[in-house]
Chain A
Amino acid sequence: MFDWLFTDDWFPKFDWRWDFAWEILPRLLEATLNTLIAAAAGYLIALVVGLFLALAQRTNYRTVTFAVREFVEFVRSTPLLLQIFFIFYVGPQFGVTLSPWVSGMIAIGLHYSCYLSEVYRGGIESVPKGQWEAATALNMSTLQTYKRVVIPQAIPPAIAGLGNYLVGIFKDTPMLSVIGVAELIHTANAIGSETWRYLEAYTMVGIIFLVLSLPAAGLIRAFEGFVRRKLGM
């Protein structure tokens, strides 16, 4: 019934070569490390900037709130790829020349900070009003209230959302290949154009992404449980 699967004109395309796969493995592993570094650095930027964007949208200064909200909307409604190109290619015209790595980190970090700011905002809004009032009754300043009362309680409900974007950022790192960051796709492309063999490299890249993404959901859930326990909630 499935004989056609094994006809000669179809099957040869599947000529997987283990020796070749073995040979390119070190290069791909190095690229994996680069991908992980890119994702981690971008994510760290996004975590910090995102928090500030979320807080800036809650200040009493209307212009700040308005400007930040518009910025977030703008970034969220334009493609990441465009933002990467913009920072890397258009930046120099304004006297800002950055390496592919730095441009990439900034683009991806800023892009995701806008998404993370929404997650933070949700977390902050989930803190009951009574907590703010209790902090006022203790005469805490706004800064102290955020730092000691609101943010610690806003984090646990935000962890799942923040974690999803960690996987998202990881899967978006291939976009950095367009400006020459040597992450996985960039390396697989390079291998392809050097050797005219694509099957092994792309398959292995797919498996690497899969293996790294799959456990993420479970780990994030475990981390959320850990944080909640740690905070006694």
Chain B
Amino acid sequence: MEDMSAFPLEITGEDVPMVSFRKVRKAYGSLVVLDNLDLDVAAGEMVTIIGPSGSGKTTVLRMLMTLEQINGGVIYVDGQPLTHMSKGGTLVPANQRHLRKRRADIGMCFQHFNLFPHMTALENCMEGPVQVLGLPKAEARARSEELLELVGMIDKKDQHPSRLSGGQQQRVAIARALAMRPKVMLFDEVTSALDPEVIGEVTNVIRKLVSEHNLTMLMVTHQMGFARDISDRVCFFYDGKIEEQGKPADLFGNPKRERTQQFLSAVKEAV
């Protein structure tokens, strides 16, 4: 049993991080994917995670979205524990009810979009607000249309996903996640499944979000140029740990660690 007294029931004070991983551990059987991960993301910050395949980047996002259970440590969102809840003055693993309450702060976009194929673009966006948030249909529709406008998909609002290109589907997926008004948005390689010529439509939407909205974002990407442009901070993951992190200009321009240098030069050659 882990000693939970090392973890606060909530994080208080000034500058409470929007997301805080504290000594988080994740293992699949005997394979330790993340070990003792400490990572804070400030409110409004855009943090990009880069690193070789299998280094645990996706796992970080999936744990935060509560799609994976963690095996140690605690994740806090906006100062409140996400993976745990306080009971009798100590932290115990969260139950479904707690997860449902805390998860509302987080939204996620996936590599393969995962739109609901039996709903139109608009219906995809309205689904969460109507079913989960209980908004009246008219309000959910107005909110969804506004977001589809933002991502440039308003003309296609009545199309089903099967009639949309990958780039268009991903933009709808971003609108769908935003419709829940999350505080934190997660992007897991949202351009990796796209044809090169449509990557720009999706990255431009994310750029717009960064410049016009005060969202906290955590993004995994293999597009180094994009990461360099828009991130406040870049974390280089290697073998389940943060090998190096810093401002994009520093990390890309002047990497300190050998593994970072190797990775960045390997990526450069591949391009």
Contact = CB atoms under 8 A, between A and B. Distances in A.
B66 A144 contact: no
Mostly, the A contact residues are helix
A117 interface: no
Contacts of A131: 114, 116
Q: Which of B118, B119, B162 has the most CB of A within 10 A?
A: B118
B156 interface: no
A136 B131 contact: no
Interface in A202-233: 231-233
B266 interface: no
On chain A, which size bracket covers the interface?
A: 10 to 19
A152 B118 contact: yes
Interface string B84-123: 0000000000000000100110111010101111111000
A76 interface: no
B127 A148 contact: yes
Interface of A: 128, 130-131, 133-134, 136-141, 144, 148-149, 152-153, 231-233
Contact of A144 (B115, B117, B132, B162): B132
Interface of B: 65-67, 100, 103-104, 106-108, 110, 112, 114-120, 127-128, 131-132, 160, 162, 176-177, 180
A136 B103 CA distance: 9
Contacts of B127: 138, 140, 148
Given A130-B112, A137-B177, A138-B132, 6 more contacts: A137-B67, A138-B128, A139-B132, A140-B131, A144-B131, A231-B117
A153 B115 CA distance: 12
B85 to A, nearest CB: 16
